[in-house]
Chains A and B, each alone.
Chain A
Amino acid sequence: MAVTEGPDAFRASQMRARDMLRGDLEGEELEKYVQERIITTTLDKAVSWARGNAMFPATFGLACCAIEMMSIVGGRVDVARFGFEAFRASPRQADLLILSGRVSIKMAPVVRRIYDQMLEPKWTIAMGACCSSQGIFNNYAIVPADKFMPVDVHVPGCPPRPEALVHGILTLRDKIQGDPTLGWRSRYGAEGTEEVLPLHSSADSVNVFGAPRPGLGEAPIA
């Protein structure tokens, strides 16, 4: 076969596929046909290819950036083209947490808990100035995301345009697909943080929210 590219080569390969289906190919020809149509890869690469192309973000908006985050599923930028359209309402089903907005120090434990409830593999995008570098709300109430959880991609902007967020998502996709062992996460110890509830537990130990919290009902802090 002299022609290896272009419409002629495509037509030739189609004709041979037809021959194969008819059972006309035998012996060495059949062997060559099979060799041409098999891709060998490692399982890690195949898995990371699939992971990078089907991330489910958690339905979780924090502030004004959430408006821009919502619009990435709309028709204009349409993140469904890349397999990200399924916003999951449960952290157990999500594997991408988009921190869209400012995180107050009262909200930070909640965000961390949602992150811990997500199952590995999981990734985080810090969207906007506030949760990356505190932005215009740099005051007593705000805490940057790096202080309490690992972040894979920071998307700058105030707020970032939907295109910027899509670029951040695609950057994350490239990271996942380019490094199947997720080396950049193990390098800063961001693995094994998923929350596992005890299997055999009494009603007390499973009641994580009902535990008596210090400070409630006590004397006021003067």
Chain B
Amino acid sequence: MPDATGLELIAGEIRDSAPGAVISTKHDRGRAEIEITPESVHPVVAMLKERGYTFLASLHGLDYWPDEPRLGVIYELLDMKTVDRISVKTRVTVENPTVASVIDLWSGADHPEREVFDMFGVVFEGHPDLRRILMPEDYEGHPQRRDFPVGGEEVIFTYNEKTMPGWTE
């Protein structure tokens, strides 16, 4: 982990190269987090990769409902030489959920980005084949969003088999 000072140095570097990109930094329980605007994801992550954070350990989504902006995309980067980790966070709205794809930096981001698109509906611009990966292709909605209903199909019992559509319908 970069310590608090190291994190501020990185944030300062980002501020110099992309003004207005850094929203906040946080160093908590030994974890370095840096939150950036969604427009600056690609240049910032590319800069961090140049700086040594060459390994994309994880790319995942999050729904902060009811906080706005709701959807989050988190990139966990790892410096393999110094075993140094940093989390890059960004947040987008449900109305305009677009983030630039980092598939040109890490081709392994292909499936994580498809999963985040499938589960949260975040559109990764520049992804060559952005379609559902876990749910069926004709599925409607993004099931990991917090406003998605928790329960699935209603269960057919003897008392409601007349009203519930079963397999014969």
Minimum distance in angstroms from B60 CB to a CB of chain A: 18
Closest to B169 in A: A147
> How many B residues have CB within 8 A of the partner chain?
28
Q: Could you give, for residues 132-169 of chain B, a 1 whenever the CB lies within 8 Å of some chain A CB and a 0 otherwise? A: 10111111010100001111110111000000011110
Q: How many angstroms from the CA of A220 to the CA of B129 in the assembled complex?
A: 8
Q: Which applies to chain A's interface (DSSP): helix, strand, loop or mixed?
A: loop
Q: Which applies to chain B's interface (DSSP): helix, strand, loop or mixed?
A: loop
> How many A residues have CB within 8 A of the partner chain?
28
The reply to whether B167 and A139 form a contact with Cβ atoms under 8 Å apart is: no
**A144 within 8 Å of B by Cβ?**
yes
User: What's the A-B contact tally at a CB cutoff of 8 Å?
Assistant: 66
Q: Contacts A144-B156, A189-B168 given: A139-B151 contact, CB under 8 Å?
A: yes
Q: How many angstroms from the CA of A146 to the CA of B150 in the assembled complex?
A: 20
**B22 within 8 Å of A by Cβ?**
no
Minimum distance in angstroms from B112 CB to a CB of chain A: 15
**A62 within 8 Å of B by Cβ?**
no
The reply to whether A150 and B167 form a contact with Cβ atoms under 8 Å apart is: yes
**12 further A-B pairs in the complex, CB-CB below 8 A; given A215-B138, A221-B131:** A106-B134, A138-B150, A139-B151, A140-B148, A143-B153, A146-B167, A147-B166, A149-B167, A188-B168, A217-B129, A218-B131, A222-B123
A: which residues have CB within 8 A of B?
105-106, 132-134, 138-144, 146-150, 188-189, 213-218, 220-222
Q: List 18 A-B contacts (CB under 8 A).
A: A105-B139, A106-B134, A134-B152, A138-B150, A139-B143, A140-B148, A141-B134, A143-B153, A146-B166, A147-B165, A149-B167, A150-B167, A189-B168, A214-B137, A215-B138, A216-B137, A220-B130, A220-B131
B: which residues have CB within 8 A of A?
117, 121, 123, 129-132, 134-139, 141, 143, 148-153, 155-157, 165-168
